[in-house]
Structure 1
Amino acid sequence: MPLKFKLVFTKSRTLKWLACLVVLAVTLRIPVLMVNRIAWRTHPVTNKTSPYLAIVNKDYWYKIGDILNRVFVINVTYVTMVACVLILSFKLYQSSKARHSLSVKTPQSTGQSSDTPGAPTLTSRDLQVIKSVTLICTIFVVAQLPYVVSALVRLLSPENDGRVLLLLMFISINGTCSYLNASVNIFVYYNYNAKYRSMFRSLLWAPVDNVKKNYTEKPQH
C-alpha cells in the first residue's frame, strides 16, 4: 500500500482526529475532577449554611487518574509510536529497494514517470517526508523511554520500597531527554525541509542584513 501523506492527512480527517483528541483529553481528566465536589457546611457562630469546595476520596481518584494518564495512555501512545516508526522504516526500505531495482533495469528513464508494474509510487518529496517523520519519531521514542520505564516502576511498585533513588534517577534522565528531544528537532527540520531552512536562514541573518542596510543607507558627510 503506497504511503501518500496528502491522501492520509486530509483536512476532514485532521479535524475529526483533533475533535477526538479533545474529547479524550477531557475524559481522562474526569478522575481528577471527581475529587472536588460542592458541599454545604454550617457556620458555628452565625448558623448560616454556605457552599464550599470539598475534597472527597482524594487517594482513590488520584490513583485512577495516575494509572490512566501516566501509565495506560503513555504506554499505548509509546507502542503506537514504535509501530509507526517500524511501518515508516519498512515503507522507506521498500520504496528505496524498488527505486534501485527500477533504475538498474531502465537507467534511461530515470526521473520520468513509469507505468511498469511494481514501480515505486513514492516521489522524492514523499521519501524526504518519510525520512524526517521517521527520524523525529525515533528521537521521540528514545527520549520517552526513561519516562515509560519510570511509569512502569511506579505501577509495579506503588509503595516505592527501596526504589526511590532509581525512580528519581529516571525522572532526571527523562527531563534531560525531553529537552534534548525538543532541541534536536530543529536540526531535523532544517535538514529535510527546504522551506523551513530558508525561513530559518532569513530569520538568523535578518539582524546582520539590517545592520548592513542601515550602514549603506547612512548619508556620507
Structure 2
Amino acid sequence: MAGRGRGRGRGGGKGMSFSVETLGFGRGEALPAPTLQPPPLFPPLEFKPVALTTGEEMDYILALKQEFRATMKELPYYVKAQEKKKDIERYTDKYQTGQQDSSINWEPDWKRFPKELKIRVRKAAKIQAVVRPSLPKKTISRKADKDVLQTLEELEKKAVEIDAEKDEEDEEEKKEEDGEQEEEEEYDEEDLEEETDYNLNYFDNGEGYGMEDEDDNLDDGPTY
C-alpha cells in the first residue's frame, strides 16, 4: 500500500518543461565546458547609428543655433531660477550687476513693429533767459496827476448821485405800496357795510304776505 505512489508520472521525474535544444546542445550530448572569463563590457551593436552629416553648411547652422540660444538666455524676459547662496546675504548684493543687466539696453528692430509701440522720448526744451531791454523811465508830469485826481472825484460824485436816485425811487415805491394798501382796506369796509344793510333792510320772513292785497281791495270798493 505504501509503495503505490512511486511509479506515477512519466519518466520517473525525467520530464522537463523546456526543450534541451534551446540551450545549444541536443539530447545525449555532453554538456559544454564552463567559461571562466568575464562577459564583454558592451554587447555588439546590431543597428549602428547614422553617421553625422558634416560640411560648411551644417557648421554654419550649428553656430547660429548656439548663438540664438545664448541671446535668448540674455534677454530680460528669460526667467531664470534663483540660485541659493550658502554665504550670508549682504547689503551690497543688491547692487551687483548680473547677466541680465547687459540686455536692458537691447533695442529691437522697429521696422518689424508698428509705430504705436515705439517709445518716443521727448527732449526737454532749453529755456532761454529773456533779456529785457533797458528802457528809459517815463517821467510822470504833475498835470497827469491832477487829471487822475479829477477823474476820480468825478467818478465819486456820479456814484453818490446814483445812490441818491436809487434811494428816492425806493421811497416812492414804498409810498405807492402804502397807498394801495389803504385803498384796499377802504374797499373792504364798504363791502362789509353793504352786506349788513342788505341783511337788515331786505330781510322778509313772510308774515305780511296777503295783507297788502286786502288794503288795495278796500280802496277800490266793491265789485258788482
Give TM class, smaller chain.
under 0.3
Rg larger in structure? 2
**Which protein has the bigger helix share?**
1
The answer to which structure has the higher strand fraction is 1
TM-score (normalizing by structure 1): 0.23
Q: TM-score of the superposition, structure 2-length normalised?
A: 0.22
